[in-house]
Amino acid sequence: MSINAFNPTPRTLMGPGPSDVHPQVLQALSKPTIGHLDPQFVAMMDEVKALIQYAFQTENPFTIAVSAPGSAGMETCFVNLVEPGDKVIVCRNGVFGERMRQNVVRVGGEAILVEDSWGAPVSVDKVAAALAAHPDAKFLAFVHAETSTGACSDAKALCALAQQHDVLSIVDAVTSLGGVELRVDEWGIDAIYSGSQKCLSCVPGLSPVSFSAKAVAKLEARQTPVPSWFLDQTLVMGYWAGDGKRSYHHTAPVNSLYALHESLRLLQNEGLENAWARHRAMHEQLKAGLTELGLEFVVEEQYRLPQLNTVYIPQGIDDAKVRTDLLNNFNLEIGAGLGDLAGKAWRIGLMGYAARQENVLLCLAALKQAIK
Amino acid sequence: MSINAFNPTPRTLMGPGPSDVHPQVLQALSKPTIGHLDPQFVAMMDEVKALIQYAFQTENPFTIAVSAPGSAGMETCFVNLVEPGDKVIVCRNGVFGERMRQNVVRVGGEAILVEDSWGAPVSVDKVAAALAAHPDAKFLAFVHAETSTGACSDAKALCALAQQHDVLSIVDAVTSLGGVELRVDEWGIDAIYSGSQKCLSCVPGLSPVSFSAKAVAKLEARQTPVPSWFLDQTLVMGYWAGDGKRSYHHTAPVNSLYALHESLRLLQNEGLENAWARHRAMHEQLKAGLTELGLEFVVEEQYRLPQLNTVYIPQGIDDAKVRTDLLNNFNLEIGAGLGDLAGKAWRIGLMGYAARQENVLLCLAALKQAIK
């Protein structure tokens, strides 16, 4: 069996992630690999930490990049913080809320579901009622930006409720980080995770995570060991400590961290608020064009994520054929529906480096031809 | 705070990993990111699977790359296969045997330790005795190539014992894969994991894993859910199924998989046996030079790993100063001692692309100056 070198045809990535990676990030990715305990690398890791703190708008000393994709970032929060028997209020309005529930169950926690329909945001009122009904709850877990639907929930209001009821908040910011307003310290978020491959425009494979002092205290007070060795943050903290000691835990994904460093640097140079505004502006253009094409949004206007536009597939249109046409004729990837929306909707991403004028124009022109 | 682009000074990596990455692999790494469900990517994943099967010398259909470093590959084996109450005979002759024990304990298994000293291989006789003494044991877990000491254990004999006693074998091949003889099917290994960054000369961050039919049957017969959602192979199998369906589980680390594809292709082009012979030949040259410098090996000759040469630090030599000199003056990284050997030994790697003539010469000449 002879296997040739892989030379992918470049694509424009306007699905739910991975998104277009900035050329400078790909360039950083392929810089020479050095040791994960090399002083040069350790100094770069300190910068990565500072840059993640900036992106999250937090001063949490416990701020790291988990050496695996966003799903592992989610698991990092649950396996470290939730102990067997802990009651967790889990908000489910799409695929990722359900995944949170599964994480709670697997660590032996008790999940209290707050349900909202697909495409709707998490209901602040329902969460308030659930917190009142379960005074023994220890956590409130919800998804800020539901990647399966494109709905944005009011993280600020939900975290304020969590603080009132003295429960810790666990927030999924995989699709929100860098694309919409997110302020970890100001909003009082206790545990948050994201992914490298959405609005940060980095390659997939890393998950920025941050814990508040209260979350760290909960971790340190655990009665049972963290069930995962790989994700045990009591061990990983030694490596990210920034005290110059860097005790070995596992081999860091060196080159992927070069890429994350560069992508976060690009975000800092642009400025967070500017990045949010750019996503919003590109969304407005795309929305105007999609509406002109007669496509209807799944999510009500006020809850729409600018970086993830979910529209119903028009009657009589062959979902798979359109997506294949876009890919084969225009090298353009848009996302299929997921879960309840499979076969019913498309998810059009405008994430990070993909949120630019030329992508909006290409997408609208190509879609117009494909659905003719 | 203004942060500059990161431009690492290139190093020659002769520690215990990461090892020198082949230039073609770095080139592959930075090819344009495409979607993880793109037909081009899915076809490449099928090739990655076939190439991992070649490297492991197995026809196991369950052969994948875990989307995280080798430590997560280890955890993948334990969380999927070992259920609460399962008895596991764990061989400990270094850091990674101890890590296996911790994995067993965290999933609620019972670890029966077979201990050998640091630098010694796992004793086949002791394992035979342990298997005889524990007829209810379900697994035998050991490290093929101990990265903390440089000792190679007789995986073939140990797996034969496991088969005789009808227990499943779990084998750590992080440092062995590609560097020394390893034949998963012929030796009857049931679960094996490795890392991308040692003798495969790929970037760190991925872990090749393979399960035998018996291991898959054990997984499928589980009475309790796999404690980790991210590493649950009953879910991941859908993505690697190769039936053209690829159900979404998590976003694959696309670019790292390009790199793994290229590194495995290089291995296949060279030929496994040739790669083993090259590591052996380079080791012989290095050994001759180290002996001439008066350095003594920690491991007895017959058990030494060619790809990881552990030597005692001579009396009166300042460990940290020598390693810093090598790094600063020659851009050469060698490894410090780990665990029981911290401060007492150096670990000199000849892994994958690092196992070449010019590295051996550089290392010997530089060490000669540094320990003068």
Q: What is the mean pLDDT of residues A232-239?
A: 83
B342 lies in some domain: yes
**Beta strands B345-349 and B308-312, pairing class:** antiparallel
> Does A291 score more than 90 pLDDT?
yes
Q: Which residues of B touch A249 (CB under 8 A)?
A: 71
- Of the three residues A268, A290, A320, the one that is the final residue of a domain is A268
| Chain segment A101-120, per-residue pLDDT in tens | 999 999 999 999 999 999 99
Cα separation, A6 vs B43, in Å, equals 10
**pLDDT tens-digit series, residues B4-47:** 999 999 999 999 999 999 999 999 999 999 999 999 999 999 99
Residue contact A3–B51, C-beta within 8 A = yes
CA separation for the pair A175, A208 (Å, rounded): 12
Give the residue from chain A lying closest to B101, CA to CA. A229
Strands (DSSP E) found in B84-226: 87-92, 110-115, 139-143, 145-146, 151-152, 168-172, 191-193, 207-211
Output the pLDDT for position B243.
57
pLDDT of residue A243: 57
The predicted structure's pLDDT at residue B237: 77
Q: What is the DSSP letter of B249?
A: S
Q: What is the mean pLDDT of residues B78-99?
A: 97
**Structural domain that includes position B68:** 24-268
A254 to chain B, any CB pair closer than 8 A? The answer is yes
B130 within domain boundaries = yes
A350 and A360 Cβ atoms separated by less than 8 Å: yes
Under DSSP, the state recorded for A297 is B
Statement to judge: residues A245 and A293 lie in one domain: no
pLDDT at A242 over 60: no
Binding-face residues of A in 280-339 toward B, CB within 8 A: 327, 333, 338
The Cα-based distances of A161 to A43, A88, A124, B348 in angstroms read 38, 14, 8, 55
Instruction: List, for residues B157-215, the tens digit of each pLDDT value.
Output: 999 999 999 999 999 999 999 999 999 999 999 999 999 999 999 999 999 999 999 99
Whether A154 maps to a domain, the answer reads: yes
Who's near B79: CB < 8 A, 6+ residues apart?
A228, B103, B107, B226, B227, B228, B231, B232
Same domain for B208 and B284? no
Task: For residue B28, give the H/E element and its range.
Answer: helix B23-29
pLDDT-derived band at A241, boundaries 50, 70, 90: low
B75, A197: Cβ pair inside 8 Å?
Answer: no
pLDDT category, B236, cuts 50, 70, 90? Answer: confident
The verdict on a CB contact (< 8 Å) between B29 and A255 is: yes
A261 touches chain B (CB under 8 A): yes
The 10s digit of each residue's pLDDT in A36-50 is 999 999 999 999 999
Q: Which of A6, A205, A229 sits opposite B44 (nearest CB)?
A: A6
SS3 at position A264: helix
For residues B188 and B155, give the distance between their C-alpha atoms in angstroms, rounded to a whole number.
Answer: 10
Q: Tell me how many degrees the CA angle B239-B240-B245 measures, rounded to the nearest 5.
A: 55
Q: Dihedrals φ, ψ of A14, to 5°?
A: -125, 40
CB contact under 8 A, B68 and A70: no
Given A236, A268, A300, the domain boundary residue is A268
For position B114, what pLDDT does the model report?
Answer: 98
Is residue B110 included in any domain, yes or no?
A: yes
- Answer whether residue A1 shows pLDDT above 80: no
3-state secondary structure of B37: coil
In B, minimum Cα distance to A28 occurs at: B6
Which H or E run contains A169? strand A168-172
Cβ–Cβ < 8 Å for B140, B169: yes
Model confidence band, residue A162 (pLDDT cutoffs 50, 70, 90): very high
Kindly tell me the sign of the dihedral angle through the C-alpha atoms of B145, B148, B150, B152: negative
In the structure encoding, which two tokens stand for residue B240, read together? 């690697």
User: Do A105 and A124 reside in the same domain of the chain?
Assistant: yes
Distance (Å, whole) CA A162 – CA A212: 14
Q: Which two tokens stand for residue A340?
A: 């309840």
Average pLDDT along chain A: 96
**Per-residue confidence (pLDDT) for residue A249, from 0 to 100:** 86
Q: Which residue out of A13, A29, A230, A326 would a mutagenesis test of the B interface target, given it has the greatest number of B Cβ atoms within 10 Å?
A: A230
**Is the domain of A261 the same as that of A298?**
no
Does the beta carbon of B119 lie under 8 angstroms from any beta carbon of chain A?
Answer: no
Does B26 contact A30 at a Cβ distance shorter than 8 Å? yes
User: In terms of domains, do B150 and B245 share one?
Assistant: yes
Q: Do A205 and B69 touch (CB under 8 A)?
A: no
| Beta-sheet strand order (sheet of A12-14) | A12-14, A332-336, A345-349, A308-312
The two tokens of residue B202 are: 């790929």
Q: What percent of chain A stands above pLDDT 70? A: 98
Task: Please report, for residues A57, A151, B87, B91, B215, the alpha-carbon distance to residue A302 in angstroms, rounded to integers and kept in the order given.
Answer: 24, 9, 56, 59, 50
Q: For chain B, what is the total number of helices (H) and then of strands (E)? A: 13, 13
What 3-state class would DSSP assign to B50?
helix
**Contact criterion met (CB below 8 Å) for B252 and A195:** no
- What sign has the CA pseudo-torsion A355, A359, A364, A369? negative
A103–B contact, CB cutoff 8 A = yes
Taking CA–CA distances from B44, the nearest residue in chain A reads A6
Chain A touched by B265 (CB under 8 Å): yes
Residue A297 lies in a domain: yes
Q: List the single residue in A197, A230, A256 with the smallest CB-CB distance to B205.
A: A256
Calculate ∠ Cα B46-B47-B51, nearest 5°.
120
A83 has a chain B CB within 8 A of its CB: no
Tokens of B58: 């197995």
**pLDDT tens digits along A300-339:** 999 999 999 999 999 999 999 999 999 999 999 999 999 8
Mean pLDDT of B132-140: 98
Token couple for A317: 């249109």
- DSSP label of A314: P
pLDDT digits (tens, 9 = 90+) for B309-342: 999 999 999 999 999 999 999 999 999 999 889 9
pLDDT for position B249: 86
According to the model, what pLDDT value does residue B16 have?
A: 96
> In the block, which residue shows the tokens 């425009």?
A201
Which residues 176-235 of A are in CB contact (within 8 Å) with B?
195, 197, 203-205, 225-230
Alpha carbons A103 and B83: distance in angstroms, whole number: 18
Per the model's pLDDT, the better-predicted residue between B107 and B236 turns out to be: B107
- Please state whether beta strands B110-115 and B87-92 pair in parallel, antiparallel, or not at all (unpaired): parallel
Lookup result for tokens 């990837």: A333
Q: What is the CATH number of the domain that holds B361?
A: 3.90.1150.10
Residues A340 and A193 in one domain: no
The Cα–Cα gap between B141 and B128 comes to 13
Is it the case that residue A2 has pLDDT exceeding 90? Answer: no
Q: Does B41 touch chain A (CB under 8 A)?
A: yes
Query: Both A132 and A86 in a single domain?
Result: yes
Cα gap A157→A187, rounded to integer Å: 8
CATH of the domain at A49: 3.40.640.10
**Distance in angstroms (rounded) separating the CA atoms of residues A362 and B18:** 41
Specify whether A254 is located in the same domain as A294: no
The letter for the amino acid at B129 is A
Q: Are A308 and A251 contained in the same domain?
A: no
The DSSP code sequence of B277-341 is HHHHHHHHHHHHHHHHTT--BSS-GGGBBTTEEEEEPPTT--HHHHHHHHHHHH-EEEEEP-GGG
Tokens of B228: 């980790």
Domains in chain B, number: 2
- Tell how far CA A116 is from the center of its chain: 20
Distance CA B190, CA B207 (A): 16
Q: Which residues does chain B have within 8 Å of residue A6's beta carbon, measured at their own beta carbons?
A: 28, 31, 44, 47, 258, 261-262
Residue B245 has pLDDT above 70, yes or no: no
Same domain for B260 and B284, yes or no, is no
User: Hey, of A251, A261, A326, A351, which one would you mutate to test binding to chain B, going by the most B CBs within 10 A of its CB?
Assistant: A251
Residue B100 domain flag: yes
Quick check: A244 pLDDT over 60? Answer: no
Same domain, B208 and B286: no
Q: Please count the CA atoms within 13 angstroms of the CA of B362 that sit on its side-chain side.
A: 21
- Kindly give the interhelix angle for B233-240 and B213-220, rounded to the nearest 10 degrees: 130
Q: Is residue A280 within 8 Å of residue A311, measured between CB atoms?
A: no
> Given CB atoms, is A59 within the 8 Å cutoff of chain B?
no
- The per-residue pLDDT for A6 is 98
Q: Which residues of chain A have a CB within 8 Å of the CB of B27?
A: 30
* Interface contact B107, partner A, CB < 8 A: yes
Choose one of A216, A233, A268: the last residue of a domain.
A268
- pLDDT tens digits for B247-291? 778 999 999 999 999 999 999 999 999 999 999 999 999 999 999
Those residues whose C-beta lies under 8 Å from the C-beta of residue A185, and which sit 6 or more positions away, are A57, A58, A59, A60
Structural domain includes residue B5: no
d(CA A14, CA A331): 10
CB-based contact A204 B228, cutoff 8 Å: no
B270 reaches A (C-beta below 8 A): no
Cα separation, A51 vs A28, in Å, equals 16
Confidence of residue A246 (pLDDT cuts 50, 70, 90): low
Q: What DSSP state is assigned to residue A192?
A: E
CA-to-CA distance for A348 and A363, rounded, in angstroms?
A: 9
CB-based contacts of B315: which residues, under 8 Å, 6+ apart?
none
- Please tell me if residue B48 touches chain A, with a CB cutoff of 8 Å: no
Q: Is B7 inside a domain boundary?
A: no
A199-213 pLDDT tens trace:
999 999 999 999 999
Arithmetic mean of pLDDT, B222-228: 93
Contact flag A31-B7 (C-beta cutoff 8 Å): yes
Q: What is the DSSP string of B59-116?
A: --S-EEEESS-HHHHHHHHHHHHPPTT-EEEEEESSHHHHHHHHHHHHTT-EEEEEE-
Write out the DSSP string of A25-68: HHHHHTSPP--TT-HHHHHHHHHHHHHHHHHHT---S-EEEESS
Regarding whether A105 and A208 lie in a shared domain, the answer is: yes
